[in-house]
């Protein structure tokens, strides 16, 4: 690979983004072609996909077209769990929540209110 070296975790994050954008499971070759910047070797992509599989973030799907990969959960599930993990690591959950809520734009505040106070069922 020529050009700049990817930061640690950047390839895994790019692979997950490509899988979330895809309509169906993708091969390592297809994923390599969808990555921004310099295209890594397919073996590098396979190594990163295996690491993601071990972490439970990616599943391997076999079929007539060979081994393909899919995200194990949606982007929103991944992001929500990452936010919860960050909050769990905070020494002061209340302060962290207040800082987070205070930095939201009005649309995000409205979405959060809808999630916290769902309308009563008819």
**Which pLDDT tens digit goes with each residue over 23-81?**
899 999 999 999 988 889 999 999 999 999 999 999 999 866 689 999 999 999 999 99
User: Both 64 and 105 in a single domain?
Assistant: no
Q: How many residues does the chain have?
A: 122
Element (H, E) at 114: helix 106-116
CA distances, 92 to each of 27, 40, 85, 112 (Å): 43, 41, 13, 21
Residue 83 has pLDDT above 80, yes or no: yes
Residue 1 has pLDDT above 80, yes or no: no
What's the total number of domains in the chain? 2
CB-CB contact of 19 with 35 (8 Å): no
pLDDT score recorded for residue 118: 80
User: Both 38 and 15 in a single domain?
Assistant: yes
pTM as predicted: 0.77
Write out the residue range of the structural domain in which residue 56 sits: 10-71
CB-CB contact of 31 with 12 (8 Å): no
């Amino acid at each position: 690979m020529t050009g700049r070296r990817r930061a640690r975790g950047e390839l895994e994050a790019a692979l997950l983004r490509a899988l979330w954008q895809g309509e169906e499971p993708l091969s390592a070759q297809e994923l390599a072609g969808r990555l921004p910047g310099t295209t890594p070797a397919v073996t590098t992509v396979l190594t990163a996909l295996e690491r993601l599989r071990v972490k439970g973030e990616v599943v391997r799907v076999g079929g007539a077209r060979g081994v393909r990969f899919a995200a194990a959960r949606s982007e929103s599930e991944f992001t929500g769990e990452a936010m919860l993990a960050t909050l769990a690591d905070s020494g002061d959950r209340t302060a962290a929540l207040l800082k987070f809520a205070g930095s939201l734009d009005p649309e995000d505040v409205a979405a959060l209110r809808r999630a916290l106070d769902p309308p009563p069922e008819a």
